[in-house]
């Protein structure tokens, strides 16, 4: 199944997490290779976002292991070191409201990576260019549109030169006409073989850009496979039903 490259970049093994009585993740395992773009889909409340936040340990899983390359994250003493290597893009952008777009990108470099201001600024400018926001460098988050905010969010994650970026519904808080600009940035990243794990409801994106789709429901991975297989002949009836509903809703499935 994962035969593109030998050493997996990310391994998630038997991950479990519950909040009180509510079991959110029941035994989730999967592997990501370098350069993979994987999309996680599934109904709301099935633990997709929890899975992402468990990977960078913003939420501690109850049990199970996560490996980044050969290092175990889940038993790591100093998680901050790992978080630098795992980018995270939030649904609500999470931009620092008191900093300009450029400074938003710089702060992680200067404070976490202890880079010089000059150097950090160069990188920030580079990343802003990459997401097409040079003109907005000195604007504050409140002056940016949702799509621009999210692009800054992506640029901020990229600037840290992460080995993988996790996207938690990056376009769900956006107006429909702003979704495209964010998705096209993500498409570029996929083309450049950035390793990305993306929770999204954008079926068109999932179908055309991802290498593999993971369908999750009720805290378990129901099925995973290539977009072609998932859309055309999934093994599970539930997968078909879900994808059918979504593509019907968003009208981007068939082509």
Partner 1 sequence: MKGTWVTIQLTFLTLGLGIVIAIPFSFGQVYGPKWVKAVVTVYERVLRSIPGIVILFLIYYGFPKVGVNFSPYLACVLGLGMRSGAYQSEIFRGAILSIDSSQMRASRSLGMSKMQGFRNVILPQAFRVALPPWANEFTIVLKDSSFAYALGVTELVREGRYIISTSYEPMVIFLAIAAIYFVISITLNRSLVALEGKLSIPGFDIKETIK
Q: Which residues bind partner 1 (CB under 8 A)?
A: 56, 58, 80-84, 86-88, 90, 92-98, 107-108, 111-112, 139-143, 156, 160
Which of 81/236 has CB closer to partner 1?
A: 81
Alpha helices per DSSP H over 87-236: 101-107, 117-130, 146-159, 176-191, 203-209, 227-232
Minimum distance of partner 1 from residue 200's CB (angstroms): 18
Yes or no: say if 204 and 176 are a contact pair by the CB < 8 Å rule: no
Minimum distance of partner 1 from residue 108's CB (angstroms): 4
Minimum distance of partner 1 from residue 78's CB (angstroms): 9
Minimum distance of partner 1 from residue 163's CB (angstroms): 13
Which of 92/191 has CB closer to partner 1?
A: 92
Q: What is the 3 state secondary structure string of 8-39?
A: EEEEEEEEEEEECCEEEEEEEEEEEECCCEEE
Q: Are strands 212-217 and 37-41 parallel, antiparallel or unpaired?
A: parallel
Which of 47/108 has CB closer to partner 1?
A: 108
Minimum distance of partner 1 from residue 85's CB (angstroms): 8
Minimum distance of partner 1 from residue 1's CB (angstroms): 29
Which of 104/239 has CB closer to partner 1?
A: 104
Q: What is the b/e burial string over 143-177, where b = at least 16 CB atoms within 10 angstroms of the residue's CB?
A: ebebbbbbbbbbbbbbbbebbbbbbbbbbeebeee
Which of 139/247 has CB closer to partner 1?
A: 139
Which of 37/91 has CB closer to partner 1?
A: 91
Yes or no: say if 38 and 211 are a contact pair by the CB < 8 Å rule: yes
Q: Are strands 86-89 and 71-72 parallel, antiparallel or unpaired?
A: unpaired
Q: Which residue has the tokens 């999470």?
A: 94
Q: How far is CA 177 from the centre of its chain?
A: 21
Residue 170's nearest CA partner among 192, 136, 141, 147 is: 147
């Amino acid at each position: 199944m994962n035969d593109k490259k030998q050493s997996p970049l990310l391994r998630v093994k038997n991950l479990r997490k519950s909040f009180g009585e509510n079991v959110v993740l029941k035994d989730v395992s999967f592997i990501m290779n370098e350069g993979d773009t994987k999309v996680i889909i599934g109904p709301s409340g099935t633990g997709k976002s929890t899975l992402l936040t468990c990977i960078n340990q913003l939420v501690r899983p109850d049990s199970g292991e996560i490996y980044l390359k050969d290092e175990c994250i889940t038993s790591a003493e100093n998680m901050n070191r790992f978080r630098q290597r795992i980018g995270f893009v939030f649904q609500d952008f999470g931009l620092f409201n008191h900093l300009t777009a450029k400074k938003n990108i710089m702060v992680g470099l200067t404070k976490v990576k202890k880079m010089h201001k000059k150097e950090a600024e160069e990188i920030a400018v580079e990343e802003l260019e990459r997401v097409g926001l040079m003109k907005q460098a000195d604007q504050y988050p409140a002056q940016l549109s949702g799509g621009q905010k999210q692009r800054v969010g992506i640029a901020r994650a990229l600037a840290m030169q992460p080995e993988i970026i996790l996207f938690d519904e990056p376009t769900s808080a956006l107006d429909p006409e702003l979704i495209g600009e964010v998705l096209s940035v993500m498409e570029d990243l996929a083309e450049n073989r950035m390793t990305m794990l993306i929770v999204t409801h954008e079926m068109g994106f999932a179908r055309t850009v991802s290498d593999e789709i993971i369908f999750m429901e009720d805290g378990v991975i129901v099925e995973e496979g290539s977009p072609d297989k998932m859309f055309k002949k999934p093994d599970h009836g539930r997968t078909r039903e879900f994808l059918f509903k979504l593509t019907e809703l968003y009208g981007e499935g068939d082509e």
